[in-house]
């Protein structure tokens, strides 16, 4: 495979219960494309545990804890799915802020299956075309996204897919978008609040 991602560093954000194949196969594709991949987690201890369909899977070494992770150290973000994984991640404010920071910096993000749940929590899907595991489509629509039922959707550096069967198409688009690099940053509600606070501090209306 062509080393289109040589020199790029990709964060893979997970908690216990991520769908294992949605980490291992995209990670392998990223590694083969020349990227450095870093597993970032909210899990305590030195490992995070995957989920395989209906039972616990393997344990994977955590490269960096979320408390020490900084978006400036990474070029892109991968969000695997699995029901338990994003449900846990979205209860951690530092994980939500980490995801939001990629969009505010205009850095590409790829999320598959239930992974887009984190995009809802980070309030970064408004006006975007996305796909996901069908059971969370209502959450995405309520957050302002245009949800589509297709194997992969791409929107200004955001790549989303529905399920493990979509991984080949997901990996191809993910690598393309990650290779392109910087996209147009978005302003989130958090960004607008911070700008308002700044204007108030300096007396600008």
Please list the active-site residues: 113-114
* Alpha-carbon distances of 158 from 55, 131, 188, rounded to whole Å: 30, 10, 15
The closest of 131, 193, 118, 184 to 160, measured between CA atoms, is 131
**How many residues comprise the chain?**
205
Could you please report the per-residue DSSP string of 44-110?
A: SSSEEEEEETTEEEEEEE-SEEGGG--GGG-SEEEE---SHHHHHHTT-HHHHHHHHHHHHTT--EE
Please state, in angstroms and rounded to a whole number, the distance separating the CA atoms of residues 15 and 9.
20
Neighbouring-strand partners of residue 154: 159
């Amino acid at each position: 495979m062509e080393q289109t991602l040589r020199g790029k560093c990709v964060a893979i954000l997970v908690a216990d219960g991520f769908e294992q194949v949605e980490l291992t196969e995209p990670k392998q594709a990223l590694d083969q494309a020349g990227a450095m991949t870093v597993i970032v987690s909210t899990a305590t201890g030195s490992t995070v545990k995957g989920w395989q369909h209906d039972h616990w899977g393997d344990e994977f070494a955590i490269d960096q804890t979320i408390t020490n992770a900084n978006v400036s150290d990474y070029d892109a973000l991968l969000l695997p799915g699995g029901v338990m994984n994003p449900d846990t991640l979205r209860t951690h404010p530092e994980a939500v802020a980490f995801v939001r920071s990629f969009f505010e910096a205009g850095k590409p993000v790829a999320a598959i299956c239930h992974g887009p749940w984190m995009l809802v929590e980070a309030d970064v899907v408004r006006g975007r075309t996305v796909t996901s595991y069908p059971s969370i489509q209502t959450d995405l629509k309520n957050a302002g996204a245009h949800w589509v039922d297709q194997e992969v959707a791409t929107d200004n550096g955001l790549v989303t897919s529905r399920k493990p069967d979509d991984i080949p198409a997901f990996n191809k688009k993910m690598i393309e978008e990650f290779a392109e690099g910087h996209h147009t940053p978005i302003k989130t509600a958090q960004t607008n609040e911070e700008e308002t606070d700044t204007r108030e501090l300096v007396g600008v209306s």
